[in-house]
């Protein structure tokens, strides 16, 4: 019974990781850039929602929508001022830029919202825990799981069925080559980061509702999406979902059955093992390189 | 090629010399003398800052080898530093080993841990490797806190005795300066020469194109592990000095944030340049000190943000500087300095 409860928790926590992992994979597949600022973008969206709720006393649904819109704006700003100058530069530089962005956002956020932990005054999403034959499903996590599934279906269709998605896949192969074939790489970048902002804000509100908003610790939780991404395979959208779920499950099982303290590093141990035995992940592409 | 007008090399020794001309020798000797007289000009708390900068430079030099020369992003430098710090702490507290033995041993232990986390580089590179080092940054502190808490003190801050060399105890900032500076000079000298040897050239070949390097007969895996060892060795030395300088060790001193700061220093200074590592570290640390001075002053003007200003101004400005450098001057301060030097060498001709 206990095992099943931890399993259920794991599946649901995995939903949050899967959502964040989707954002990372999406950016990687469209631009070949690894976004280390994902944790801070996540927190930013959550803080925006909090501000509308607490400072302006707006209704929940408007606050949520405003958070999504402003986060998308943030994504556009990142693209325009940071990522666009990086087109054609070494990918290493672009990845470093996201690290710089991560620090910058962290500083700005602790400036505006103070470095202490805040929490939402009310429940963001309606519902109460469901008890299914003795196993409790927390409603916040059910929401996260559901959202992850919806975003997954949306992104997958967008990626494989739309013209913009095709453009993204081309851009990921080679920025300059894509430009030469008439793809507007700037627009692709803009759409990518806009979507990334949207997904990050969604994940942020779900995460914030569960663990609170803290500049110091919340981005670290979001970083656990990286093991999920590696596990599922960097190139695979379905892999992000499965990787997120497996990392969530293993983390909860290890924490519940072995030692609660080991839970926090389980994802990273999984990450190391995966990197050694199957670096391309479960569903990733094995790169064949030529000189 | 990089000599002033009218100076030519006549022997092979001249050609490979690091210090080339008489004027150059003069500058080097004068700089060394000035360096050792530095405490005379910066007494008190400024000297503590200088010590911190020097220790950081050693760690950043190590990171420069792995990131700037071998082209592998490492997000775990601070964790490797903590390995060195804790090794030094345990050796000097439990085994009462003298400082001069504990120092290289902590470098070696950090280097070995570095090799363990470099092992995935057999099959992966680039961002995947960044992931492996990110894992190091989380796993190492966890092991320090949870594996043998009765030995490492868990999350508590443990006291480290002052270093003792030949019966002399180095207890204050001034004396520590004279411990740290020779180590720094030695590290600089070794790195500067390492990258001119076969090993260093192999590193650079791997950075530029690992497949081409492999085809040309460079054992990529061997050299990658070597780069990891040397890089972490430097981190360990820096960590050991840090522990003896702070006179305490705690896991919080070596966080992911510190690793990102180190990377930022390299970006600002310039990737693939020894002087870049030095300049970047000094630039960022001076900026940091200025921010800490400005923070309270800003707080007086805008009392509403007084508490947050000091804590958050640092990351904000540092992140901004890192992004600006990447967008506007990706080759860093070192490149600017090279341009200044080229101007001096060629003067009065434009090129």
Q: Cα separation of A245 and A264, whole Å? A: 16
Q: Cα separation of A192 and A76, whole Å? A: 9
Query: Virtual CA dihedral for A94, A96, A102, A103, nearest 10 degrees?
Result: -140
Per the CB < 8 Å rule, is B327 touching A85?
A: yes
Query: Virtual CA dihedral for A41, A47, A49, A52, nearest 10 degrees?
Result: -140
Q: Measured between CB atoms, which of B135, B263, B307 is closest to A99? A: B263
**Section B252-268 average pLDDT:** 88
CA nearest to A104, candidates B158, B210, B107, B260: B260
Q: Verify cis geometry, omega within 30 degrees of 0, for the bond prior to B348.
A: yes
**Section A145-156 average pLDDT:** 84
Q: What is the pLDDT of residue B232?
A: 94
Q: CB of A102 within 8 Å of any CB in chain B? A: yes
Q: Measured between CB atoms, which of B128, B260, B305 is closest to A103? A: B260
Q: CB of A172 within 8 Å of any CB in chain B? A: no
For residue A262, is it left (φ>0), alpha (ψ between -120 and 50) or beta?
Answer: alpha
Per the CB < 8 Å rule, is B309 touching A111?
A: yes
Phi then psi dihedrals of residue B250, to 5 deg: -150, 150
Domain membership flag for residue A77: yes
Q: What is the pLDDT of residue A259?
A: 78
Q: Cα separation of B225 and B233, whole Å? A: 12
Domain membership flag for residue A158: yes
Per the CB < 8 Å rule, is B132 touching A271?
A: yes
Q: Look-up: residue for tokens 């507007």?
A: A184
- Asked if A106 and A216 touch (Cβ cutoff 8 Å), the reply is no
Burial of B1 (0-12, 13-18, 19+ CB in 10 A): exposed
**Section B141-154 average pLDDT:** 81
Chain B: closest CA distance from residue A195 (Å): 22
Q: What is the pLDDT of residue B310?
A: 67
Q: CB of B14 within 8 Å of any CB in chain A? A: no
Structural domain total, chain A = 1
Per the CB < 8 Å rule, is B326 touching A96?
A: yes
**Residue-number span of the structural domain to which A68 is assigned:** 2-215
Q: Cα separation of A256 and B82, whole Å? A: 29
The answer, yes or no, to whether residue B249 has pLDDT greater than 70, is yes
Kindly report the average pLDDT of chain A as a whole number.
83
Q: How confident is the model at residue B4 (pLDDT cuts 50, 70, 90)?
A: low
Q: What is the pLDDT of residue A136?
A: 75
Domain membership flag for residue A284: no
- Where are chain B's structural domains? 44-254
Q: Among positive and negative, which fits the CA dihedral B147, A256, A204, A241?
A: positive
Q: Among positive and negative, which fits the CA dihedral A175, A41, A99, B329?
A: positive
Domain membership flag for residue A87: yes
Q: How confident is the model at residue B13 (pLDDT cuts 50, 70, 90)?
A: confident
Domain membership flag for residue A240: no
Domain membership flag for residue A225: no
Q: CB of B308 within 8 Å of any CB in chain A? A: yes
Q: Cα separation of B123 and B195, whole Å? A: 25
Q: Cα separation of B168 and B190, whole Å? A: 27
CA nearest to A42, candidates A15, A21, A13, A14: A21
Query: Which value, in Å, is the radius of gyration of the alpha carbons in chain B?
Result: 21
Strand boundaries in chain B, DSSP class E? 158-159, 164-165, 168-169, 248-249
Per the CB < 8 Å rule, is B326 touching A279?
A: no
Per the CB < 8 Å rule, is B139 touching A114?
A: no
Both tokens of A256, joined, read: 């519940």
Q: Measured between CB atoms, which of B311, B313, B319 is closest to A115? A: B311
- Asked if B18 and B190 touch (Cβ cutoff 8 Å), the reply is no
CA nearest to B103, candidates B28, B159, B192, B182: B182
């Amino acid at each position: 019974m206990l095992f099943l409860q931890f399993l259920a928790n794991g599946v649901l926590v995995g939903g949050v990781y899967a959502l964040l992992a989707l954002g990372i994979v999406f950016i990687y597949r469209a631009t070949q850039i690894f976004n280390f600022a994902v944790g801070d973008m996540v927190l930013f969206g959550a803080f925006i929602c909090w501000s509308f709720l607490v400072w302006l006393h707006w209704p929940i649904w408007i606050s949520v929508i405003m958070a999504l819109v402003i986060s998308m704006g943030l994504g556009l700003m990142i693209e325009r001022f940071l990522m666009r100058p990086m087109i054609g530069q070494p990918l290493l530089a672009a990845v470093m830029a996201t690290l710089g962005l991560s620090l910058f956002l962290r500083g700005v956020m602790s400036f505006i919202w103070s470095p202490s932990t805040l929490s939402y005054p009310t429940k963001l999403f309606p519902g109460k825990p469901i008890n299914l034959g003795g196993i409790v499903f927390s409603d916040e996590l059910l929401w996260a799981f559901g959202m992850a599934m919806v975003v997954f279906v949306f992104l997958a269709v967008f990626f494989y069925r739309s013209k913009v998605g095709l453009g993204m896949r081309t851009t990921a192969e080679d920025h300059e080559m894509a430009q030469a074939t008439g793809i507007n790489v700037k627009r692709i970048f803009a759409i990518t980061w806009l979507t990334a902002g949207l997904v990050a804000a969604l994940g942020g509100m779900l995460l914030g509702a569960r663990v609170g908003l803290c500049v110091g610790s919340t981005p670290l939780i979001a970083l656990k999406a990286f093991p999920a991404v590696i596990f599922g395979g960097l190139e695979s959208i379905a892999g992000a979902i499965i990787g997120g779920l497996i990392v969530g499950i293993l983390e909860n099982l290890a924490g519940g059955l072995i030692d609660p303290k080991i839970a926090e590093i389980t994802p990273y141990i999984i990450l190391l093992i995966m990197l050694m035995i199957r670096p391309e992940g479960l569903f990733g592409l094995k790169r064949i390189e030529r000189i | 090629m990089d000599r002033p007008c009218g100076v030519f090399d006549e022997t092979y020794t001249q050609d490979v010399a690091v210090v080339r001309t008489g004027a150059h020798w003069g500058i080097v000797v004068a700089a060394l003398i000035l360096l050792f007289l530095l405490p005379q000009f910066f007494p008190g708390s400024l000297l503590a800052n200088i010590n911190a900068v020097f220790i950081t430079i050693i760690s950043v030099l190590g990171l420069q080898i792995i990131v700037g020369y071998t082209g592998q992003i490492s997000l775990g430098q601070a964790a490797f530093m903590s390995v060195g710090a804790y090794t030094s702490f345990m050796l000097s507290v439990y085994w009462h080993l003298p400082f001069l033995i504990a120092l290289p041993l902590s470098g070696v232990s950090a280097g070995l841990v570095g090799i363990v986390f470099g092992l995935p580089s057999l099959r992966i590179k680039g961002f995947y490797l960044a992931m492996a080092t990110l894992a190091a940054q989380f796993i190492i502190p966890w092991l320090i806190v949870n594996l043998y808490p009765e030995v490492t003190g868990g999350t508590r801050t443990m006291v480290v005795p002052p270093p003792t060399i030949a019966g002399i105890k180095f207890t204050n900032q001034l004396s520590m300066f004279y411990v740290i500076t020779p180590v720094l000079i030695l590290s600089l000298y070794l790195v500067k020469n390492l990258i001119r040897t076969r090993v260093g050239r192999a590193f650079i070949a791997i950075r530029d194109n690992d497949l081409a390097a492999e085809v040309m007969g460079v054992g990529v895996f061997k050299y990658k592990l070597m780069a990891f060892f040397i890089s972490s060795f430097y981190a360990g030395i820096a960590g050991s000095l840090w522990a003896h300088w702070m006179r305490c060790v705690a896991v919080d001193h070596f966080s992911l944030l510190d690793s990102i700061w180190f990377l930022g220093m390299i970006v600002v200074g310039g990737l693939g340049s020894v002087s870049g590592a030095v300049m970047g570290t000094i630039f960022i640390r001076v900026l940091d000190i200025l921010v800490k001075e400005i923070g309270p002053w800003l707080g007086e003007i805008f009392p509403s943000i007084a508490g947050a200003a000091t804590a958050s101004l640092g990351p904000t400005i540092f992140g901004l500087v890192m992004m600006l450098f990447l967008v506007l001057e990706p080759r860093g301060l070192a490149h600017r300095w090279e341009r200044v030097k080229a101007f001096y060498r060629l003067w009065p001709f434009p090129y």
